[in-house]
């Protein structure tokens, strides 16, 4: 029994002692799915398994086969559909990536759990706000945590360095836009960003819903011309290094002229070739399956920052699943120099050791 097996046994037994509505907040690569499977075997009966996406369902089904678990009595559901099971009875509800649930989904979970004897929440990136909300809306308590730093000490994940490169929003190239009244105008991304910030401030003063302009601002930052230019320079600088690039959109991933893997371009042969060590660069949009392994990478680049700190934190954590040269993950985060985006990143990295994060890293002179 190695250290990972020992930790898995420790957290399985912890849950079986405590039960109730309990969350295990565990580092990547510890094997939270296996822990969940072993708990499901122990409890038995009718089980509700919830997750944010169908890709995660497939991962569970693969692990059921791997670990010899018969899922005949398992009811599968996404969080978007979990409300349909209100009033039904279950011996256990297992809620994977529970940090990803919205407040509305948390309310639905709380209602569904009225029919559950016990519930297990699994996550690897749970911030204090989500912990508070899950306690309030669904009655969950975090009973066990295993940090990335503990996993590094146990040699379960790679150690890491994070280098945040700050770039300016472009103030030269103007793109065409149309106002609500149909007036055509041209603006740079910096002008548009400032306009959206002013709009959000004004709407907040009037107690109006700011969701739409906030989404537009996030999309602008994710597709920034300034970021794209910086990444092109990095790909040129690191042309002989093996690197994985996470982008926000398929258009961004396709724009660099390197192999790309995403929902519109699922070329498995190309992905498998990169995994085996062929080629140096790969761009991806969604996080790749946790089961994917690569020949050692030299570095990772993340440009797809978003306002959900846990989603972004998972992208960082996913890199720690991969093998790196010198047994250390070197991760570059390309950020605009705006207070908004740097705030998102600071919140996303709060579960990591801040002494391993270098801000405003100077890659180019």
Q: Is residue 365 part of a domain?
A: no
Q: Is residue 304 part of a domain?
A: yes
d(CA 177, CA 185): 5
Per-residue pLDDT of the chain (365 residues; tens, 9 = 90+): 799 999 999 999 999 999 999 999 999 889 999 999 999 999 999 999 999 988 789 889 999 999 999 999 999 999 999 999 999 999 999 999 999 899 999 999 999 999 999 999 999 888 888 999 999 999 999 999 999 899 999 988 889 999 999 999 999 999 888 878 888 889 999 999 999 999 999 999 999 999 999 999 999 999 999 999 999 999 999 999 999 999 988 999 999 999 998 888 888 888 888 888 888 999 998 766 555 667 788 999 998 776 666 777 777 777 877 778 777 889 999 999 999 999 988 888 888 889 999 999 998 76
Task: Name residues whose C-beta falls within 8 Å of residue 51's C-beta, 6 or more positions apart in sequence.
Answer: 57, 60, 76, 77, 78, 79, 95, 96, 97
Same domain, 144 and 18: yes
Same domain, 29 and 11: yes
d(CA 119, CA 168): 46
Final residue belonging to a domain, choices 101, 117, 151: 151
d(CA 261, CA 117): 42
Q: Is residue 251 part of a domain?
A: yes
How much is the pLDDT for 239? 93
Final residue belonging to a domain, choices 116, 151, 186: 151
Strand partners, 94: 49, 120
How much is the pLDDT for 288? 64
d(CA 288, CA 230): 23
Same domain, 73 and 183: no
Same domain, 195 and 255: no
What is the SS3 assignment for the chain? CCHHHHHHHHHHHHHHHHCCEEEEEECCCCCHHHHHHHHHHHHCCCEEEEECCHHHHHHHHHHHHHCCCCCCCEEEEEHHHHHHHCCCCECEEEEECHHHCCHHHHHHHHHHHHHECCEEEEECCCCHHHHHHHHHHHCCEEEEEECHHHHHHCCCCCEEEEEEEEECCCCCCCEEEECCCCCEEEECHHHHHHHHHHHHHHHHHCCCCCHHHHHHHHHHHHCCHHHHHHHHHHHHHCCCCCEEEECCCHHHHHCCCCCEEECCECCHHHHHHHHCCCCCEEEECCCCCCCCCCCCECEEEECCCCCCHHHHHHHHHHHCCCCEHHHEEEEEEEEECCHHHHHHHHHHCCCCCHHHEECCCCCCC
d(CA 77, CA 57): 8
- Name the nearest CA neighbour of 10 among 41, 48, 29, 38: 38
CA-to-CA separations, 296 to 103, 280, 326, 327, in angstroms, rounded: 39, 11, 9, 9
d(CA 253, CA 284): 6
Instruction: Using the structure block, give the residue that is written with the tokens 């306002």.
Output: 307
Same domain, 352 and 235: yes
pTM: 0.82
CA dihedral 102, 29, 49, 56 (to 10 degrees): 70
Is the separation of the CB atoms in 322 and 303 below 8 Å? Answer: no
Domains contained in the chain, number: 3
Same domain, 179 and 144: no
Task: Take residue 213 and report the two structure tokens written for it.
Answer: 């302009």
Instruction: Using the structure block, give the residue that is written with the tokens 């690897």.
Output: 124
Same domain, 49 and 144: yes
d(CA 213, CA 271): 36
For residue 21, how far is the Cα from the chain centroid? 24
How much is the pLDDT for 272? 85
Q: Is residue 298 part of a domain?
A: yes
Which domain range does residue 253 map to? 159-169+226-358
Is the separation of the CB atoms in 344 and 305 below 8 Å? Answer: yes
Is the separation of the CB atoms in 96 and 124 below 8 Å? Answer: no
Rounded (5°) CA angle 119-83-39: 20
How much is the pLDDT for 291? 53
Is the separation of the CB atoms in 344 and 307 below 8 Å? Answer: yes
Same domain, 100 and 135: yes
Same domain, 239 and 207: no
Instruction: Using the structure block, give the residue that is written with the tokens 């089961």.
Output: 291
Same domain, 310 and 275: yes
d(CA 344, CA 336): 11
């Amino acid at each position: 029994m190695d250290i990972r097996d020992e930790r898995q046994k420790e957290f399985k037994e912890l849950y079986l002692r405590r039960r109730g509505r309990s969350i295990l907040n565990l580092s990547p690569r510890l094997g939270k799915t296996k822990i969940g499977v072993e708990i499901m075997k122990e409890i038995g009966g009718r089980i509700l398994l919830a997750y944010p996406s169908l890709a995660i369902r497939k991962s569970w089904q693969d692990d059921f086969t791997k670990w010899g678990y018969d899922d005949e009595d398992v009811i599968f559901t996404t969080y978007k559909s979990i409300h349909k099971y209100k009033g039904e009875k279950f011996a256990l509800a297992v809620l994977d990536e529970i940090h990803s649930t919205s407040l509305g989904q948390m309310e639905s979970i709380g209602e569904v759990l009225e029919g559950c004897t016990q519930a297990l929440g699994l996550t690897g990136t749970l911030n204090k706000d989500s912990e508070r909300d899950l306690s309030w809306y669904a009655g969950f308590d975090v009973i066990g945590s295993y940090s990335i730093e503990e996993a590094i000490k146990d040699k379960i994940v790679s150690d890491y360095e994070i280098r945040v490169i700050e770039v300016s929003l472009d103030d030269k190239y103007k793109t065409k836009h149309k106002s609500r009244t149909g007036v055509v105008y041209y603006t740079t991304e910096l002008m548009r960003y400032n306009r959206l910030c002013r709009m959000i401030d004004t709407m907040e003063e009037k107690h109006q819903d700011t969701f739409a302009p906030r989404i537009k601002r996030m999309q602008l930052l994710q597709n920034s011309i300034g970021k794209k230019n910086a990444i092109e320079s990095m790909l040129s600088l690191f042309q002989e290094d093996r690197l994985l690039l996470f982008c926000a959109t398929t258009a961004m991933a396709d724009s660099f002229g390197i192999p790309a893997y995403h929902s519109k371009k699922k070329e498995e042969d190309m992905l498998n070739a990169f995994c085996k060590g062929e080629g140096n660069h790969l761009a991806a949009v969604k996080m790749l399956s946790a089961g994917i392994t690569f020949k050692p990478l030299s570095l990772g680049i993340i440009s797809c920052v978003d306002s959900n700190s846990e989603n972004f934190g998972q992208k960082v954590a996913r890199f720690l699943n991969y093998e790196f040269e010198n047994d250390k993950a070197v991760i570059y985060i390309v950020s605009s120099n705006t207070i908004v985006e740097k705030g998102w990143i600071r919140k996303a990295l709060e579960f990591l050791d801040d002494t391993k994060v270098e801000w405003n890293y100077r890659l180019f002179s």
